[in-house]
């Protein structure tokens, strides 16, 4: 996943987190409080999730979409987990903006990575 680490270091702007509900309806949101941890995947602070939180708690898979400074798009896909306590939540609390709620840490475990139509793994 070295390619993902390098691309993430060169990202530009916020990322997009996409989930689906139980009926297959997609939901996409911009996320600014997000980190990539190679041993876990993407960790996103839940500050104002509503539909997204419901989708995650419904065993949704999701995707993270971001763009690099050289305008190359990457999309990581995988299962989502929701942490309201424990080590992942505690680590998220160390970097998230304390002016925001930070009610939970969502983890997207990366099982697939695409750049455009090309599947990288």
Q: What pLDDT score was predicted for residue 100?
A: 95
> How would CATH label the architecture of 2-119?
Roll (2.30)
29 or 1, greater pLDDT: 29
Q: How, if at all, do strands 41-46 and 112-115 pair?
A: unpaired
Domains in the chain: boundaries: 2-119
Average pLDDT for 20-32: 94
pLDDT digits (tens, 9 = 90+) for 29-80: 999 999 999 999 999 999 999 999 999 998 889 999 999 999 999 999 999 9
- What are the distances in angstroms from CA 38 to CA 26, 53, 67, 97, 121? 26, 23, 18, 22, 15
């Amino acid at each position: 996943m070295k390619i993902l680490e390098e691309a993430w270091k060169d990202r530009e702007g916020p990322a997009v987190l996409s989930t689906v509900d139980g009926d297959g309806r997609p939901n996409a949101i911009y996320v600014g409080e997000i980190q990539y941890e190679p041993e876990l995947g993407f960790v996103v602070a839940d500050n104002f999730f509503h539909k997204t939180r419901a989708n995650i708690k419904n065993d949704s898979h999701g995707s993270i979409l971001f763009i690099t400074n050289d305008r190359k798009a990457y999309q990581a896909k995988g299962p989502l987990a929701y942490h309201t306590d424990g080590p992942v939540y505690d680590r998220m609390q160390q970097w998230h903006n304390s002016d925001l709620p930070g009610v939970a840490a969502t983890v997207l475990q990366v099982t697939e990575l695409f750049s455009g139509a090309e599947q990288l793994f």
